[in-house]
Amino acid sequence: MAEQPLIVAEGVWFAYPGADWTLQDVSLRLAGGEYVAIIGRNGAGKTTLAKLCNGLLRPTRGRVCVLGQDTASLRPCELASTVGYVFQNPDHQIFAATTREEIAFGPRNLGLGEAEVRARIEEALARFGLQEVADAPPALLSFALRRKVALAAVYAMRPQALILDEPTGGLDRDSVHEVMGAVASLHAEGHTIILITHDMALVAGQARRVILLHEGRIALDAPPRQAFAQSERLHAAGLTPPQITRLARRLARCGLPADLLTVEEFVAAYVGQAAARSHSPWRGAT
């Protein structure tokens, strides 16, 4: 079978009732296994685009297909097993009496057998480090744990694509590390990841493709290295490249490449530079 794209948007226009266009002429093609970051300032339409991808919203004009099927002909519950969506606010989905039941909700909706549901609960608990709170009421857990429960609950449905709407908002450094580590291993196992975030360092460190939304349109669609090289376009959309990229660019005249994305890359380039010059690269640069 030929490689079928997972999600295809063709000329999508979308407006909420009684409002102006939120998305204008958005076209997009996501293959299986991609790791895409959707960025843009508040109100740019990131969440709206995500909801169009899993059928919660339908395009006003144009069409969205998931695995070749038009979302207009499918109900969200039919798409749930293909495109999972973890909401911006975990409290919008948490309702069950225990974490186990919360995780079981999705798989049961898919009509899976009891043994399979149980296996998936345990696997999801382990993956997100939730074993200790497995029988606690999730609504009473800390915010970071509630976020993980929300993620685990959607993950347990084993969707091919996972949309994560600001999964690190309100989390401390360690929790961000844990959550994004789990996401990275999901990607390594073949899941498609669609990450919505305002954290550019996260985008630079993890995503393979960046989609910038600005004024309802896709302003940029490129791998992070190329995307973050376009400072003017990012700037026009109210964003800046990650700090380390900006620092490297400011130091370009000292011989550092201008398109570094992570601290590790920076260190490697810096050490290489220092070795080549055998003295501090800063001298003479002023």
Question: In the complex, which residues of this chain contact another protein (CB under 8 A)?
Answer: 51, 54, 56, 75-77, 80-81, 84-85, 87, 89, 91-96, 105-106, 109-110, 139, 153-154, 157
Q: Dihedral, CA atoms, 120, 121, 122, 126, nearest 10 degrees?
A: 100
Residue 269 binding target from Mg ion, another protein, ligand ATP, none, CB below 5 to 8 Å by type: none
Residue 206 binding target from another protein, Mg ion, ligand ATP, none, CB below 5 to 8 Å by type: none
Among 45, 90, 106, 107, binds ligand ATP (CB under 6 A): 45
Quote the DSSP letter at residue 46: H
Contact 104, 113 (CB under 8 A): no
Q: Which amino acid is at 116?
A: E
Task: For CA atoms 31, 33, 39, 45, give the dihedral sign.
Answer: positive
Is residue 48 close enough to count as binding Mg ion by CB under 5 A?
no
Place of tokens 């949309």: 163
Among 9, 28, 36, 48, binds ligand ATP (CB under 6 A): 48
User: CB of 21: closest distance to ligand ATP in angstroms?
Assistant: 10
Place of tokens 């995780």: 103
Among 22, 47, 93, 197, binds Mg ion (CB under 5 A): 47
User: CB of 94: closest distance to another protein in angstroms?
Assistant: 6
Residue 96 binding target from ligand ATP, another protein, Mg ion, none, CB below 5 to 8 Å by type: another protein
Residue 65 binding target from another protein, Mg ion, ligand ATP, none, CB below 5 to 8 Å by type: none
Nearest to 162, CA basis, from 196, 202, 128, 139: 196
The set of long-range contacts for 107-113, using a CB threshold of 8 Å and a minimum separation of 24, is 107/156, 107/157, 109/77, 109/80, 109/157, 110/80, 110/81, 110/157
H/E element holding 248? helix 243-250
Quote the DSSP letter at residue 118: H
User: CB of 70: closest distance to ligand ATP in angstroms?
Assistant: 21
Contact 124, 153 (CB under 8 A): yes
Residue with smaller CB distance to Mg ion, 47 or 168: 47
Residue 42 binding target from Mg ion, ligand ATP, another protein, none, CB below 5 to 8 Å by type: ligand ATP
User: CB of 138: closest distance to another protein in angstroms?
Assistant: 10
Q: Total number of residues binding ligand ATP (CB under 6 A)?
A: 11
Q: Which amino acid is at 215?
A: E
Place of tokens 């919008």: 92
Nearest to 155, CA basis, from 104, 89, 196, 198: 104
Residue with smaller CB distance to ligand ATP, 22 or 192: 22
Residue 158 binding target from Mg ion, ligand ATP, another protein, none, CB below 5 to 8 Å by type: none
Residue with smaller CB distance to ligand ATP, 107 or 216: 216
Residue with smaller CB distance to ligand ATP, 44 or 195: 44
Spatial neighbors of 251 by CB under 8 A, at least 6 apart, are 281, 285
Residue with smaller CB distance to ligand ATP, 102 or 165: 165
